[in-house]
Amino acid sequence: MPSSTEGDIGTVAGIAASRPGDPARGDANLPALAVRETAAMPEVAKGWRPGLGVVIGIVGMLLLGLGLILWQPWVAALPEVVIERAAFAPVARVLAVNGRVAGEGAVDIRPLVSGRITALPLAEGDLVEVGAVLARIDGSAQAAIVRQAVAGLDAALVAQGAAQEALVRARALGGATSRVALEAALRAELTAGQEVRRMAAVLEQGRVALSLFTVTAPMAGTVTDLPVVPGQTVDPSSVLMTLADMNHLVVEAVVDETHALELRAGLAATMRATGASSVLTGRVSRVAQEVDAATGGLLVTLLPDAALVAPIGLTVTANITTEDRAQAITVPRAAVVTDDAGTAVFVLEGKAAMRRAVSVIEWPAARLIVTEGLAPGDPVIADAAGLSDGLAVAVAVP
């Protein structure tokens, strides 16, 4: 047997002696081929160059990074504000109210007695004169009382006549009549006279009470409301009708009591009735001296300069001018904040909103008069919502 050394040499020689295409080689050439291919790879890697797509991707990532640095989406945007320069200007404080047309002398007619309406000779819109019959209420019972009083007065008159005759006879007898009898005749005649006067008063009282069952007009005017019908039972709390002087119409409005001290007779006012295109001028003619405790309202009467032609009860919009100022600084209501620290506005100082204390006249209007705290030219932020002292802001470009 050959030695191990010889076997090794033979094996090596066998591999080296093999020729290409010799079937005897089998797979013996595969390791050698694999070694040669692996050794050639570094030469290919050294010659690689990036493609166009890679270059575009890198440039895009650089641009995106630059945009993020400039935009900084993680930083909150500054709130934009609108600036208004404070300036003096003529200002009028106007109180807007809603009222209704009313007759200057309008009255509600109520009966003074209870009963059933037996006659109602009027209709809504009728003109009446003073003393005209407006309604009749059943007064049968009271009429019977009057007849009874008449009978009682008649009996008293008869008794008075008899007493007077007795006194005359007693005096005619002279000394034949005792002093006691004469005094009794005098007393009887005096009592009879008193009874006559009493029964006359009862009759008068009965007739007055009976007259109350006939309702008459206390003034001349127009029937503007007639809520009852014949046959209806009424009492002193019932409104039979409303009479108004249509030649002198006014506007009545209820104003909140917070403005009570601002109102007085003589203030100028403008009025426009619902559906009308023209505006009437006028003035405050009367301010009630008592505030309604239930509603907190104060009744104000406005008198137009020209005759107002409109139905009673029509809604009228009115503006009452409570004050005129030749010069004043005003700011939008939205610019004013009121909290525990007081009343203030925000002014722009540099790029920050700075709180500044002010005094304003509180009034139901879109703009408020500033009496202290601002000077002409101050840059006031028109809307203080969401602002805090020192907050950085940006001025909105109009």
Residue 195: predicted pLDDT: 94
CB-CB neighbours of 339 under 10 Å: 7
Point out the least confidently predicted range of 85-94, 177-186, 235-244, 270-279: 177-186
Residue 194: predicted pLDDT: 94
Residue 49: predicted pLDDT: 62
Residue 252: predicted pLDDT: 94
Work out whether strand 88-103 and strand 249-256 pair parallel, antiparallel, or are unpaired: antiparallel
Span 61-77, average pLDDT: 66
Percent of the chain with pLDDT over 70: 84
Point out the least confidently predicted range of 66-80, 200-214, 259-273, 296-310: 66-80
Number of helices (H) and strands (E), helices first, in the chain? 5, 24
Residue 103: predicted pLDDT: 85
> Is 2.40.420.20 the CATH classification of the domain at 81-89+326-395?
yes
**Band of residue 31 on the pLDDT scale cut at 50, 70, 90:** very low
Residue 180: predicted pLDDT: 85
356 — phi, psi (to 5°)? -135, 125
pTM above 0.75, yes or no: no
- CA dist list (Å): 292 to 68, 253, 264, 288: 67, 13, 17, 10
**Band of residue 69 on the pLDDT scale cut at 50, 70, 90:** low
pLDDT above 80 for 177? no
Q: At a CB cut-off of 8 Å and minimum separation 6, what does 394 contact?
A: 78, 79, 80, 81, 351
Span 112-126, average pLDDT: 94
More confident residue, 40 or 52: 52
Residue 28: predicted pLDDT: 39
Sheet bearing 241-244, strands edge to edge: 107-109, 241-244, 221-225, 127-128
Closest to 80 (Cα-Cα) out of 359, 349, 371, 383: 383
**Band of residue 73 on the pLDDT scale cut at 50, 70, 90:** low
CB 46 within 8 A of CB 346: no
Q: At a CB cut-off of 8 Å and minimum separation 6, what does 107 contact?
A: 218, 219, 221, 242, 243, 244
Note the helical H segments in the chain.
4-17, 30-46, 52-71, 140-173, 179-211
Structure tokens at 25: 């080689």
Point out the least confidently predicted range of 26-35, 161-170, 199-208, 377-386: 26-35
Residue 174: predicted pLDDT: 77
Summarize pLDDT for 123-175 with one digit per residue, the tens: 998 999 999 999 999 999 999 999 999 999 999 999 999 999 988 888 888 77
Residue 176: predicted pLDDT: 76
CATH fold of 96-104+245-325 reads Elongation Factor Tu (Ef-tu); domain 3 (2.40.30)
Residue 253: predicted pLDDT: 95
pLDDT above 70 for 35? no
Q: How far apart are the first and last CA of the chain?
A: 110
